[in-house]
A and B are shown apart, each in its own frame.
Chain A
Amino acid sequence: MKTDDLIRGLAKDTAKYRPIAELLFPGILAAVGFSILVLWATLGFRADLVQSLGSPVSAARFLLTGALGLIALRVSLILAKPDGRRHANLTQLAVVGAVAICLLVWAYAATPAEGLRMAVVGKTMTACLITIPLLSIAPVAVILATMRRGASTVPTLSGFVAGLAGSGLAAAIYAMHCTEDSPLFYVTWYGLAISGVAVLSALIGSRFLRW
């Protein structure tokens, strides 16, 4: 086939797509709503949820995970474009990580030596490591499906950032249940759960986001 013939055919296809941002926002709202509902119906919210927001160290769980999720969501949208790698700012994501680590170091210094082990291991480590990945399934799936309609030229990185976005939001949702307020616990285990999801999502992205 001559290239001119192909061009003639392509020009006749006037099907329109909606911009991917318009697809992502309703989708992610639905996914987050769904995950909140699942958490509420199974584990429930912590009884003192509203009061706990008054404590900065406890509220930092929502701030850190929420900020990570939302920033990563924004970066995902940028990476979904062909020339997105040049415009995506990954420093902001690193800043959230750095703040979390500072908080961890501060908590380590502020916690008496005999309480350290207790604070790190907590009582709900396993629940945390299982629930956050489960709650991230819906948001990560929505983000990856939306990015697939885009045209990422860095599929693995895109998958990684999609994983950070989805699991960051999922961790913020899980925080509504979790009563472990020490950064020694949540930076460690939320962080591990989020990293695990992000790595898995990067592996999925490296295949699923090719076009």
Chain B
Amino acid sequence: MDDWGQLLIAANAGDSRAYEQFLQTVAPVLRGVVRAKGHGLGEASCEDVLQDVLLAVHLKRHTWQEGTPVRPWLYAIARYKVVDAFRARGRTVELPIDDFAEILPAQVGPDPTEASDMVKMIGMLDDRSANIVRKICLEGASSGETGQALNMSDGAVRVALHRALKTLAFLRNRHVK
């Protein structure tokens, strides 16, 4: 529990490695939640919902208050987004989702599921933003390398990435509703 808090404090202070580790740590837990609540939805769709949740956690990470437990905060975001995502897919969540504590984390298999929504949404971005997101996410380039390839400064790439992620979250909300 407190290790999550430590990671998130470092992340909110701008430590991108701590942040990646935080997201890597919580993703299996959230995947477990999504799968437990969305049986029958299929693994790929569950992965789509999980990515929705992660994007929401990312864009709302400043609403966590240092010194308070991470789990209730994280689960509240997950609960809101999971209900939303299932509703958008024409399903309702029948089970109460307050019992997250009992859910087992789910790891992806050796051949991880690819979610398809995000790629579709990236295609709806403007070309430059889409390039930046593809380079950084799919090719694993740093913001500096991406900047060199696209003839932009490191800072400009970071700003553009941030905007692109916000737009993606907006598009996903609108697209599925």
Among A5, A10, A151: residue with most chain B CB under 10 A:
A10
Inter-chain contact A6/B77, CB cutoff 8 Å: no
In the complex, the answer to whether B63 meets A13 with C-beta atoms within 8 Å is no
B40 within 8 A of A: no
Is A19 interfacial (CB-CB < 8 Å)?
A: yes
Asked if A150 lies at the interface with its beta carbon under 8 angstroms from chain B, I say: yes
Q: Count of chain B residues with Cβ under 8 Å from any Cβ of A? A: 52
Give the residues in chain A near B133, CB-CB below 8 Å. Answer: 9
The complex places the Cα of A16 from the Cα of B11 at a distance, in Å, of: 10
A79 to chain B: closest CB distance in Å?
11
Q: Is the CB of A5 within 8 A of B158?
A: no
B136 contacts A12, C-beta separation under 8 Å: yes
**CB of A48 closer than 8 Å to a CB of B:** no
Which of A81-89, A95-103, A120-128 is the contact stretch? A81-89
- Given A80-B63, A82-B63, A153-B76, verify A12-B143 contact (CB < 8 Å): yes
Q: Which of B55, B62, B73, B118 contacts A18 (CB 8 A)?
A: B62
Q: Does B19 have its Cβ within 8 Å of any Cβ on chain A?
A: yes
A residues near B (Cβ < 8 Å) are 1-20, 80-83, 86, 150-151, 153, 210-211
Known: A11-B20, A81-B63. 7 other contacts (CB 8 A): A1-B122, A1-B138, A3-B27, A9-B136, A10-B23, A13-B58, A153-B80
The 3 A-B residue pairs with the shortest CB-CB distance in the complex, in nearest-first order = A9-B137, A11-B20, A82-B76
